[in-house]
């Protein structure tokens, strides 16, 4: 469980961001789940819709965690990279899209565009739950290009962005390339 000092820090930092922001949250593995849940909770409570790229948990488990945390799942749209890559037979829904694999980066981009076009509100945020997990399945250059493309696209479309990176697992070159595209890097 995330300690209250970290929660207060993240709530304070996320509450002070200007419009159209992109933030990278750096944390230890032991804090990543709680940090992600708290971030999504804070931002959906502010009325923002969440576009989640899940690379660390299957969508059904993620939804269970959101419900436990009392996150309004009507505001959550998930692109799941986990289920199909593990051979789970799943169907897409209005709020959940499944891509073939963790390394299906173009398919993730296409799914993001489809979900974005279906959103009623303009205000939302893209949440990538683990750059580190995506880096396990993609070479660093390809992932950097993918993240760059996504961040530029969301900035052009006035969508906020939040990415979680595990301190101990991210390639320093990838981190530097991604950090330069962010308005803020927050270490917790």
Asked if residue 4 belongs to a domain, the reply is: no
pLDDT tens digits for range 24-77: 999 888 888 999 999 999 999 988 899 999 888 999 999 999 999 999 999 999
0.85 exceeded by pTM: yes
Q: 9 lies in a domain?
A: no
Q: Is 40 inside any structural domain?
A: yes
**Three-state DSSP state, 129:** coil
Q: What's 88's DSSP letter?
A: -
pLDDT > 90 fraction of the chain, expressed in percent and rounded: 26
We report the CATH number of the domain holding residue 116 as: 3.40.50.300
Q: What is the pLDDT of residues 107-117, one digit of tens each?
A: 888 888 777 77
In the structure, what pLDDT confidence band is assigned to residue 2 with cuts at 50, 70 and 90? Answer: low
Residue 39: per-residue pLDDT? 92
The domain total for the chain is 1
Specify if 149 maps to a domain.
yes
The verdict on residue 155 lying in a domain is yes
Residue 73's SS3 state is helix
Residue 34 lies in a domain: yes
Domain span at 177: 20-187
* Domain presence at residue 94: yes
Query: Does residue 157 sit within a domain?
Result: yes
E strands within 55-149?
Answer: 76-80, 96-98, 124-128
């Amino acid at each position: 469980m995330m300690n209250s000092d970290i929660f207060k820090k993240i709530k304070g930092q996320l509450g002070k961001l200007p419009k159209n922001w992109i933030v990278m949250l750096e944390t230890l593995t032991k804090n990543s789940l709680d940090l992600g849940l708290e971030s999504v909770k804070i931002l959906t409570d502010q009325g923002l819709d969440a576009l989640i790229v899940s690379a660390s948990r299957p969508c059904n488990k993620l939804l269970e965690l959101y419900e436990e945390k009392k996150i309004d799942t009507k505001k959550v749209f998930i692109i799941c990279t986990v289920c199909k890559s593990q051979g789970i037979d799943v169907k897409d829904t209005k709020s959940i899209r499944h891509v073939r694999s963790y390394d299906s980066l173009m398919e993730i981009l296409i799914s993001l565009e489809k979900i974005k076009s279906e959103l009623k509100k303009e205000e939302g945020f893209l949440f990538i739950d683990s750059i580190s997990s995506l880096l396990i399945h993609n070479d660093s250059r390809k992932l950097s290009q993918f993240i760059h493309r996504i961040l530029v696209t969301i900035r052009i479309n006035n969508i906020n962005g939040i990415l979680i990176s595990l301190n101990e697992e991210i390639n320093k070159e990838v981190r530097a390339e991604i950090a330069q595209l962010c308005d803020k890097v927050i270490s917790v």
